[in-house]
A and B are shown apart, each in its own frame.
Chain A
């Protein structure tokens, strides 16, 4: 029974992890940018939903589309005005500029929002349902469902629309995509905007199930990085699967080994997987 409970906790947590990593994997695969500011975008999305909830009284789940819209615009402009300068350039350039962006966003958030812990606490935050002795927190269940929904929508966008086809084509062969009329700068900006919107959604859900501070981004970037590598950069559904693996491993580790071991487990798993299947895991989209 305890094991089943851990499994449920891990799956619910893992779905959210998967959503966090989706945007990072997308941007990495298409733009070849390892976005170290991805966690900071998650953090900003969390604050957006927090203030929509506490300031305007909008239910956090209803606030998600608004936060996503805002984050899309932010991400689009960021790519157009700044990141297009380094797109598909040397890895070090992308790491430097996105690290700098992470620092700026973190300290602007600290200045604007203070360093206080914030949690998004709607009336149903503490509600649970119990099924066969397993407790399922409703807010986590809802967050999990939204994460799956968004992953499914991203899959549909990438695989069933003209825009998605162009995004994948650009990721696979930039020369040929340009040859047939794809305008990469515009496409990169839209892609980064989608990545930022997904980060924003993840942040809002994270604020519902945990607490937000300006500094939460760093560890979420690391986690997203691990999951993106495990899940691969090609398929949103396998990224969510990667999230589930990490979620289950972490919740088992924190019970059997203690909560401090959670990160050891996720990075340990990364090393194991890279050793075991380096070709598949590191294949760039």
Chain B
């Protein structure tokens, strides 16, 4: 399980003349859950845009050994690098089932799609119950499940989950974190981008801390959680003495 599925070296990117990311190095091994944490404006979204190739960048991004630099966003998606976008971005006036079908839009293998449906409905039984309901009528947590289910319908190899916990109750976040672990158990590698550091550390194997466009800490989440600087800045823990 040590093969590097996603490997980023010396990545810089920005908007116009404004640099946002400088010299990012990051990797995700197959089967891992890796989290990228940082506060608002740290550059998390910019990094995701560079990975999905919707934003030009310098440096090297390799996915499963292939250089993504010259690829279109569609080609990156077709390789199995699939995003659950921030804010869910559901098709609000389509049914849950149709939203899931859209995740499999580019797939033509009917049997494989049927298996993916089974998997999604097993992971999220509530989506099966509500499959005829309009996605816009779901609760926030159910909408996030629908967005994750839709991404799974694309048969991802690396699932990039952007701000999963945003606007959700802690109990719902806990439930979703449990599902993430299950998804990993089914052989899908996960990159979890989060502001909720506490939630992210509870499920991830390793983490990266992004601050003003640079990776300032990296390591096992147990090490990061013990790091006084990380504790002070992100976990809201004041050190005694």
Contact = CB atoms under 8 A, between A and B. Distances in A.
B146 to A, nearest CB: 11
B105 interface: yes
Contacts of A180: 77, 102-103, 105-106, 150, 154
Given A165-B101, A165-B102, A166-B102, A181 B77 contact: yes
Contacts of A182: 102, 105
Nearest to B136: A172
Contact of B102 (A177, A183, A234, A285): A177
Contacts of A179: 77, 83, 85, 89
A178 interface: yes
Contact of B85 (A169, A176, A183): A176
B98 interface: yes
Contacts of B150: 180
Contacts of B94: 165, 168-169, 172
A171 to B, nearest CB: 9
A175 B87 CA distance: 11
B106 A172 contact: no
Interface string A156-169: 00000010011011
A173 interface: yes
Interface residues of B, number: 20
A176 B89 contact: yes
Contacts of B93: 168, 172, 234, 285
B105 A181 contact: yes
A166 B77 contact: no
A179 B150 CA distance: 11
B91 A176 contact: yes
Contacts of B78: 181
A18 B102 CA distance: 29
B126 interface: no
Interface in A79-137: none
Contacts of A178: 73
B105 A166 contact: yes
Nearest to A283: B93
Interface residues of A, number: 18
Given A165-B98, A181-B77, A176 B105 contact: no
Interface in B53-105: 73-74, 77-78, 83, 85, 89-94, 98, 101-103, 105
A56 B102 CA distance: 45
Given A173-B90, A173-B92, A181 B74 contact: yes
A173 B85 CA distance: 12
Contacts of A181: 74, 77-78, 105-106, 154
A173 B74 CA distance: 17
Interface in A254-285: 285
A177 B94 CA distance: 12
A65 B188 CA distance: 49
Contacts of B154: 180-181
A162 B105 contact: yes
A177 to B, nearest CB: 7
A172 B89 CA distance: 10
B89 A175 contact: yes
Contacts of A175: 85, 89
Nearest to A182: B105
A179 B156 CA distance: 13
Interface in B104-142: 105-106
13 contacts: A165-B105, A169-B105, A172-B93, A172-B94, A175-B89, A176-B85, A176-B89, A179-B83, A179-B85, A180-B102, A180-B154, A181-B78, A182-B102
Interface of A: 162, 165-166, 168-169, 172-173, 175-183, 234, 285
Nearest 10 Cβ contacts at the A-B interface: A181-B106, A176-B89, A172-B91, A169-B91, A181-B105, A169-B102, A180-B105, A173-B91, A180-B102, A173-B89
Interface of B: 73-74, 77-78, 83, 85, 89-94, 98, 101-103, 105-106, 150, 154
Given A162-B101, A165-B102, 20 more contacts: A165-B94, A165-B98, A165-B101, A168-B91, A168-B94, A169-B94, A169-B98, A172-B92, A172-B93, A173-B91, A176-B85, A177-B102, A178-B73, A179-B85, A180-B77, A180-B102, A180-B106, A181-B78, A182-B102, A234-B93
